[in-house]
Amino acid sequence: MLATLRRTYPDVGTALHFSDPLQLLVATILSAQCTDERVNRVTEQLFRKYRTAGDYASADPRELERDIHSTGFFRAKARNIIGAAQRIIAVYGGKVPDTMEQLVTLPGVARKTANIVLSHGFGKIEGIAVDTHVRRLSYRIGLSNHDDPETIEQDLMLLFERTDWPAVSDLLIAHGRAVCTARSPRCTACTVQPHCLQRIER
């Protein structure tokens, strides 16, 4: 299945635009319940305005809320970005930490976000990022029987080689957006249909 997905999406990777781990962290926080396309439009200006953890840490909450308003849940996201930046400065010397244990202590950062920052920002593989697409496809295809993202992650980690973990997430996300969508999965156009249980979601 993974080989088929790789042939189907040969250039897959994170769709978020970033140039360093801090930008990736902010973009990933913004991507919750928002399309990567919209996040990229917002961060094009945002990253020019806020360049360091200190810039975010000292940001006026209402101003940052306005800057990220179109990504949705802007109050919570602004609060988390500011809080994460303040902790990065206070505890980690102004640099985004590069371990799972440290990243998940930041406001707004759970394992999904931490896995994305680690794999794409630092080239470190500690797990598999489980977003809404990975969760949906894992159940439909039959890779996991669970609903909880952390349990799904553990199931996927047992099925695939560690070196493939970042690709598993990226490829399932790409397939979930292009073919195996939430409302109208295009099963007749699906390249991994022979591997799929085609289960109806609970």
Query: Could you give all domains of the chain from N- to C-terminal order, each with its CATH number?
Result: 2-12+128-195 (1.10.1670.10), 21-122 (1.10.340.30)
* CA–CA separation, 154 and 5 (whole Å): 21
Residue 158, number of CB atoms within 10 A of its CB = 9
| 155 close to 138: Cβ distance less than 8 angstroms | yes
Residue 170, pLDDT > 50, answer yes
Handedness of CA 109, 110, 111, 113 (dihedral sign): negative
Residue 202, pLDDT > 50, answer no
119-160 residue pLDDT tens: 999 999 999 999 999 999 999 999 999 999 999 999 999 999
Angle, CA 9 vertex, CA 6 and CA 10 arms, to 5°: 70
Average pLDDT over residues 160-185: 94
| 170 close to 13: Cβ distance less than 8 angstroms | yes
Task: Just list the catalytic residues.
Answer: 112, 131
